[in-house]
Amino acid sequence: MTRRLGFSFLYFTPRVLAGHLPWLGRLAHHGYDGAELPVVDATDEELSSMRRVLDAEGLTATAVGFAIEGANPVDPDPAVRRAAVEHIGRLCEKAAVLGADVLAGPLHSAYGPFTELPPTGDEQRWCAEVLHEAGGLAAAAGVTLALEPLNRFECYFLNTAADCSDLVRAIDHPKVLGLLDTHHAHIEEDDLPAAIESMGQALGHVQLSENHRGTPGRGQIDFPAALAALDRIGYEGWLVIEAFSRQDPAFGSALRIWRSLDDGPEDVLRAGARLVGRP
């Protein structure tokens, strides 16, 4: 089964500038099909520059974004939830400039804030309503939303594959699916392959990330077992290698990356390609 292989540019930065663009050529060199590019803060000019280099290198893209506090799908204020629909719509438009077919990330709730309580029924209902409407905007942009459960230390609202599948069913829109990130699943799931199989057709995107978020294949994640589970459910979407670093020191600190986790970008690119059997 052939799947497209991507590499998350969050390894380098949360905002892709001209100095990062040569790395797209290195993706092509290592056999990747595309890049997962952050779009929340990207300007029109930056998006156009990324698209030109993608096209020149024969690559395609996915986009990564997140909900923010002033546009939070689970906020009690209807005006904030309305802003959430509009925010996700803008992210979809940015993804479309890149030619991306997926907008992935924690779009279900603002990244950062905690209520210090488990998610409520109201929050789940509000989120489903917001994301159903946002699904229409995604469809208009030619994009599928892929909702990412995060571990309990980063998010209170959506942590597990089972809860993600339930949310996707509640949203009930063909352009809104779930995402499984092996790093978060390693923390939250009892059995990674079983979690993958439980998602079935609700799974629309996969990020392959180590338990320590460093070089893939050098940690505790059983990637062969995860890939075999994806085969069993007939998953045909993207596989995106996601590693983090201190290439951007401020972003590394925000993600609590305090030490070197790899031997440099080329090492991570090679390891990610090997993980899925690319030459």
pLDDT by residue (tens digit) across 131-165? 999 999 999 999 999 999 999 999 999 999 999 99
- Residue 2, pLDDT > 80, answer no
Q: Which CATH class is domain 5-275?
A: alpha beta
Q: Which of 149, 151, 275 is nearest to 215 (CA)?
A: 275
DSSP 68: B
Is the separation of the CB atoms in 263 and 16 below 8 Å? no
- Split at pLDDT 50, 70, 90, the class of 75 is very high
- Split at pLDDT 50, 70, 90, the class of 278 is confident
3-state secondary structure 183-222: HHHHHHCCCHHHHHHHHHHHEEEEEECCCCCCCCCCCCCC
Quick one: pLDDT at residue 56?
98
pLDDT by residue (tens digit) across 222-262? 999 999 999 999 999 999 999 999 999 999 999 999 999 99
Q: Which of 232, 122, 123, 137 is nearest to 175 (CA)?
A: 137
pLDDT by residue (tens digit) across 173-196? 999 999 999 999 999 999 999 999
Quick one: pLDDT at residue 113?
93
Indicate the length of the chain as a whole number: 279
Q: What is the mean pLDDT of residues 204-215?
A: 97
The pairs formed by 42-47 with CB atoms below 8 angstroms and a separation of 24 or more are 42/15, 42/16, 42/94, 44/97, 46/15, 46/16, 46/17, 47/94, 47/97, 47/98
- Residue 8, pLDDT > 70, answer yes
Q: Quote the radius of gyration of the chain (alpha carbons, Å).
A: 17
Quick one: pLDDT at residue 109?
98
Mean pLDDT of the chain: 97
Helix (H) or strand (E) holding 135: helix 121-141
Residue-wise DSSP of 137-170: HHHHHT-EEEE----TTT-SS--SHHHHHHHHHH
At 105 the three-state DSSP class reads strand
pLDDT by residue (tens digit) across 24-55? 999 999 999 999 999 999 999 999 999 999 99
Helix (H) or strand (E) holding 127: helix 121-141
Residues 199-209, buried b or exposed e (16+ Cβ, 10 A)? beebbbbbbbb
Quick one: pLDDT at residue 50?
98
- Residue 15, pLDDT > 90, answer yes
pLDDT by residue (tens digit) across 108-134? 999 999 999 999 999 999 999 999 999
